Amino acid sequence: MIKAIYPGTFDPITIGHLDVILRAAKIYDKLIIAIMENRSKTCTFSREERKKLIEECIKDLDNVEVIVGEGLTVNMAEENDCRIIVRGIRAVSDYESELALATANMNLNNNIETVFMVAKPELSFLSSSIAKEIASFNGDISDYIPPAIIKEVSEKLYK
């Protein structure tokens, strides 16, 4: 069985994240979505809220599981018997930062590989930050956020 882990903050999950999940779920026998802490980001949703939002979006995927992770991604991968870390790339700027992370992970554990999945062109502009900004002004986030959670995300962000 080939298991992969897809780490991120997912604050909140976007259509771009969901696209990577759907594509990776077709490639790997088991995909674990790991909601991780990023100390350089201030999250709007708690990790439990993010977990519930993601679970709502993936409820029809039998081989996908959502966990709340702690510590280093490479350690979470090893603890969950995953030999693949899946990362999405939207643009060249993503590649540069993702390459640095992949190299650090390789130095920490050379038994775990990082696989980059390139965003579909029509999804390359998506980010949780932009979606949150639009929602905070009661804007239409239907091009950013999966339909199953638009109402919940909009209600949390529009003040």
Q: Which two tokens stand for residue 41?
A: 């980001």
Residue with tokens 């949780």: 128
Angle, helices 128-136/150-157, rounded to nearest 10 degrees:
60
User: Is 128 tagged catalytic?
Assistant: yes
SS3 letters across 23-54: HHHHHCCEEEEEECCCCCCCCCCCHHHHHHHH
| Choice among 41, 59, 97, 129 that is catalytic | 41
Do 64 and 31 form a contact (C-beta atoms < 8 A)? yes
| Choice among 50, 87, 90, 132 that is catalytic | 90
Do 21 and 133 form a contact (C-beta atoms < 8 A)? no
User: Is 39 tagged catalytic?
Assistant: no
SS3 68: strand
User: Is 41 tagged catalytic?
Assistant: yes
Angle, helices 47-57/150-157, rounded to nearest 10 degrees:
150
| Choice among 50, 87, 128, 132 that is catalytic | 128
User: Is 87 tagged catalytic?
Assistant: no
**CA 81 from centre of chain:** 19
Annotated active-site positions, please?
17, 41, 90, 128
